[in-house]
Amino acid sequence: MAYFYDETSHTFSEYLLVPGYSDENCIPSKVSLKTPITKFRRGEEAEISLNIPMVSAIMQSVSGDRLAVALAKEGGISFIYGSQSIESEAEMVAKVKSNKAGFVPSDTNIAPEATLADLLRLKERTGHSTTAVTEDGTSAGKVVGIVTSRDYRISRMDPATKVKEFMTPLEKLIYAKEGVTLSEANDILWDNKLNALPIVDDAGRLRYFVFRKDYDAHKANPNELLDEHKRYMVGAGINTHDYKERVPALLDAEVDILCIDSSEGFSAWQKNTIKWIRDKYGEDIKVGAGNVVDAEGFRFLADAGADFVKVGIGGGSICITRETKGIGRGQATAVIEVAKARNEYFEETGIYVPLCSDGGIVHDYHMTLALAMGADFVMLGRYFSRFDESPTAKLMINGTYVKEYWGEGSNRARNWQRYDSGGPAKLSFEEGVDSYVPYAGALSDGVRLSLAKVRSTMCNCGAMSIPELQQKAKLTLVSATSIVEGGAHDVILKDTTVTPNR
């Protein structure tokens, strides 16, 4: 006979936090959201920690290189989607890693014999106004000059004009030699009122640029998630089929952390994938696994060597796994049970395995609930797909701006490796839908507002950190009537689009 759980499966919306005592020091600006993403032993610290408890989902419609940079600026990490060729995923990872080291490799380069028309096409493609002029037109060529938008006027120049005729030649440039520190380079920028400083090697070859805007951006983003070389950190998704080819390519691109992307992780395939990574690379390579929804699934992946475990099946807004297969569990119940198992595992082994709550986040306060229930961080798809930096198209539908959003189990994604367990291809079926989400502007604005709410709620609970929230949180189930009571009710809402008569 089948096993029956006594407890009803619950979602985040069925819970509320009960306030705790807050002293005068408990203010949002003092709350720390730093949280581990990789396992660690008792008395030690995680090798990788996030500055905010947010990661982006391993999805085509969410995690491209542009969003990865934007999220790293805020202190989180993106997992570049794996449902693409190995080469293109590795290229995306490499773009993120080269985007910021303080020292930035040039991706906008031209030869001196090229024309103004060539330069304008290059600028349109890359979006960058500072162009290095090198002898061979490559980023590693010998520098002969620099072109910025101040060096030419489109309306007064022949498009056939050679770049060498209007560029600023090297002898008139201020530049630095390779080996200069970032602090020294920034001093040169400021002392000479420059926007960009070329860094060249002893042979005169271009190595990097240091940009004034990067200094300003760092000051505006104190939570940036950077590696030891001051480059943005980035993750990548892998599957349980081509990992022997995909993992080495991603490591060559200098990915910081991997995650097995699967709708259900309690399987021999995930164990085999982790074992191969451990046998070949040891513990140096960080890899998360999942998804699971109960204690047994967690312990399986923890014993297999996962650095973190994802919790959640069927709770995503575009996921129809529960509808098509009858598999899953209410996200709140799953997080609570797995967190309890994680704590027991820590007591038994001395190894703390972080939990990622993946799916089921509808409102900002659900993030706080997930953290209070035991998750160390949350993975978000729909949330991030709404922003400018997601890789999907922004459209106008019925007078409202939206962005496209589709699941990895949809026909559009065609990510059948994620669900393949053998059998004829014609028997494949969808576990995700194709949809739109309301456009929400810049990622930085959205993330900062959401986390302001999280910090404020944590203060209501008397907690100054995520571990303290998990210790002090008091949670209560609410009835359907209580849920109605929690929103606006028994009033006539004003139409804010109507301007009153004066």
Closest to 264 in 3D by CA, of 319, 339, 333, 337: 319
Task: Count CB neighbours of 92 within 10 A.
Answer: 25
Q: Quick check: is 125 catalytic?
A: no
Return the bridge partners of 73, or none: none
Give yes or no for a cis peptide into 291 (omega within 30° of 0): yes
Compute the distance between CA of residue 53 and CA of residue 313 in angstroms, rounded to an integer: 20
Whether 442 contacts 387, CB under 8 Å: yes
Compute the distance between CA of residue 174 and CA of residue 182 in angstroms, rounded to an integer: 16
Task: Count CB neighbours of 73 within 10 A.
Answer: 23
Compute the distance between CA of residue 44 and CA of residue 351 in angstroms, rounded to an integer: 10
Return the bridge partners of 475, or none: 17
Compute the distance between CA of residue 53 and CA of residue 126 in angstroms, rounded to an integer: 32
Q: Of residues 26, 259, 319, 459, which has the active-site annotation?
A: 319
Q: Of residues 207, 246, 418, 455, which has the active-site annotation?
A: 418
Closest to 318 in 3D by CA, of 239, 390, 413: 413
Compute the distance between CA of residue 259 and CA of residue 246 in angstroms, rounded to an integer: 12
Closest to 107 in 3D by CA, of 128, 76, 83, 135: 128
Closest to 133 in 3D by CA, of 192, 191, 188, 200: 200
* Residues across the chain: 502
Compute the distance between CA of residue 378 and CA of residue 388 in angstroms, rounded to an integer: 21
Q: Quick check: is 212 catalytic?
A: no
Whether 255 contacts 281, CB under 8 Å: no
Residue 123 token pair = 């600028």
Whether 391 contacts 95, CB under 8 Å: no
Rounded to 5 degrees, φ, ψ at 448 are: -65, -35
Q: Which string of b and e fits 177-212 if b means at least 16 CB within 10 Å?
A: eeebeeeebbeebeeeebebbbbbeeeebbbbbbbe
Q: Which residues are catalytic?
A: 319, 418
